[in-house]
Amino acid sequence: MTTTLRPTAPEEHTDDGGRRRAFAITVNGRPVGALRLETDARFAHRVGRLVDLTVEPAERRRGRGTVAALAAEEVLRSWGCGQADVAVPDTATGALRLAAALGYAARWRTLAKELADPPPPPPEDSAHRPLTEAEYQPWLAAERASYARSWTERGVPPEWAAFRANAATEAALPQGLATAGVLVHVLEHAGTPVGSCWLTRTHEGARGEPAVMGVSVAPEHRGLGHGHTLLAHAERLVAERGAKRLLAHAFAGNLPASRLAASLDYRPLTHHLSKPLL
Q: 140 and 73: one domain? A: no
- Please tell me the distance from the alpha carbon of residue 38 to that of residue 76, in angstroms, as a whole number: 8
pLDDT at 207: 87
* Beta strands 47-55 and 83-89, pairing class: parallel
Contact status, residue 20 vs residue 39, Cβ threshold 8 Å? yes
**Domain annotation covers residue 237:** yes
Q: 145 and 35: one domain? A: no
- Please tell me the distance from the alpha carbon of residue 82 to that of residue 43, in angstroms, as a whole number: 11
**Domain annotation covers residue 106:** no
**Domain annotation covers residue 246:** yes
Buried/exposed 141-160: b ≥16 CB within 10 Å, e otherwise = eebbeebbebbeebebeeeb
pLDDT at 1: 63
196: three-class secondary structure by DSSP? strand
Q: Return phi, psi of residue 228, to 5°.
A: -60, -45
Q: 19 and 136: one domain? A: no
User: In the beta sheet, which residues pair with residue 38?
Assistant: 20, 49
**Domain annotation covers residue 214:** yes
Residue that finishes a domain, picked among 39, 61, 81: 81
Q: 63 and 141: one domain? A: no
* DSSP-derived secondary structure letter, 188: E
Q: 21 and 148: one domain? A: no
Number of domains in the chain: 2
Mean predicted lDDT score pLDDT of the chain: 94
Q: 71 and 128: one domain? A: no
User: Lowest-pLDDT range, 134-138, 145-149, 204-208?
Assistant: 204-208
pLDDT at 203: 87
Domain residues for the domain of 242 are 113-272
pLDDT tens digits for range 72-121: 999 999 999 999 999 999 999 999 999 999 999 999 999 999 998 888 88
**Domain annotation covers residue 189:** yes
pLDDT tens digits for range 225-272: 999 999 999 999 999 999 999 999 999 988 889 999 999 999 999 999
pLDDT at 3: 87
Q: 134 and 247: one domain? A: yes
pLDDT tens digits for range 10-69: 999 999 999 999 999 999 989 999 999 999 999 999 999 999 999 999 999 899 999 999
Residue that finishes a domain, picked among 39, 65, 81: 81
User: In the beta sheet, which residues pair with residue 255?
Assistant: none
Q: 69 and 23: one domain? A: yes
Q: Say which CATH number the domain at 258 has.
A: 3.40.630.30
Residue that finishes a domain, picked among 29, 58, 81: 81
Outline where DSSP puts E strands in the chain. 3-7, 12-13, 19-27, 30-39, 47-55, 83-89, 105-114, 126-130, 183-189, 192-200, 211-217, 245-251, 267-276
pLDDT at 204 over 90: no
Q: Is the dihedral of CA 188, 192, 194, 199 positive or negative?
A: positive
Contact status, residue 183 vs residue 219, Cβ threshold 8 Å? no
- Please tell me the distance from the alpha carbon of residue 42 to that of residue 48, in angstroms, as a whole number: 10
Complete DSSP assignment for 24-81:
EEEETTEEEEEEEEEE-GGGTT-EEEEEEEEE-GGGTTSSHHHHHHHHHHHHHHHTT-
